Amino acid sequence: SDAVFALAVTLLVLSSIVPETFTEIYASLSDIVPFGICIVLLTLIWYQHYIFFIRYGLKDVKIVSLNTILLFLVLIYVYPLKFLFKVLFQMWVAIFTGDQETMNHIFTEVLLPDQSSMLMIVYGVGAAGIFLVMAMMYSVAYKRKEQLELSPVEGFLTKTSMYSNLLMASVPLLSVLLTLLFDN
C-alpha cells in the first residue's frame, strides 16, 4: 500500500515536464504550491490509511478488497487533483494580480467553461470515493470491536473516524450534486 502512495506522488512529479532552460525552471516554480497541496492531501490520506492498519491489523478478504479499491481510487485521483489545484492556483494568482490574459488563457485553452462542471464531477466522485471507502474500512473494524478487543476509547475513536470520513465524503458529494443541479 505504501508503494501505491509513493507511486501516486511519483506520478505527480512525472506529470511535470523537465525544464531545459532557466526560463522554464522559473516558470515551473508556479507549480510548487499546487504540487505542495497535492502532497499534503495525499499524505493525509496515506496517514489515515497507515493509522488504520497499525490500529487494527486487519488483513481479511473484505479489508483487502476495500484497500484495493482505495488504492485504485488514489491512483486515479492523482491527475484530476493536480490539474484542479494547478488551475485554481493560476486563477487565484491571476485574480490577485489582475492578470486578465492568464484568466482568458485558462478559460479558452486550459479549461473551457463547459468542461469545468465535468472536472468538478470527476474530482468530487474520486474524493468522495476515497473517503467512503475509508469509512467502510472503519465500519468493518467497528463491527469487529469485540474480536479486536477494542477498549471503549478505541471503539469511540473507530466510530469517530468512520463518521469523520463520511463527513469528508459528503463535501465533494455535495459539490457534485450542486454541479449536476445547477449546470446549464
Radius of gyration of the chain (CA): 19
Question: In this structure, which long-range contacts are made by residues 40-48, counting pairs with CB atoms below 8 Å and at least 24 apart in sequence?
Answer: 41/81, 42/5, 42/8, 42/9, 42/12, 42/74, 42/78, 42/81, 45/5, 45/74, 45/130, 45/134, 46/2, 46/5, 48/134, 48/161, 48/165
The tens-digit pLDDT sequence of the chain (184 residues) is 877 777 777 777 766 667 778 887 777 777 888 888 988 999 999 999 999 999 999 999 999 999 999 999 998 888 888 888 989 999 999 999 999 999 999 989 998 888 888 988 998 999 999 999 999 999 999 999 999 999 999 999 999 999 999 999 999 999 999 999 987 6
Q: Looking at residue 173, what is its pLDDT?
A: 96
Work out the burial of residue 96: count CB atoms within 10 Å of its CB; fewer than 13 is exposed, 13-18 middle, 19 or more buried: exposed
pLDDT at 119: 87
For the entire predicted model, the pTM comes to 0.84
- pLDDT at residue 96 in the model: 94
pLDDT in the model for residue 153: 96
Q: What is the pLDDT of residue 9?
A: 76
pLDDT at 184: 60
Separation between Cα atoms, residue 165 and residue 119, nearest integer Å: 22
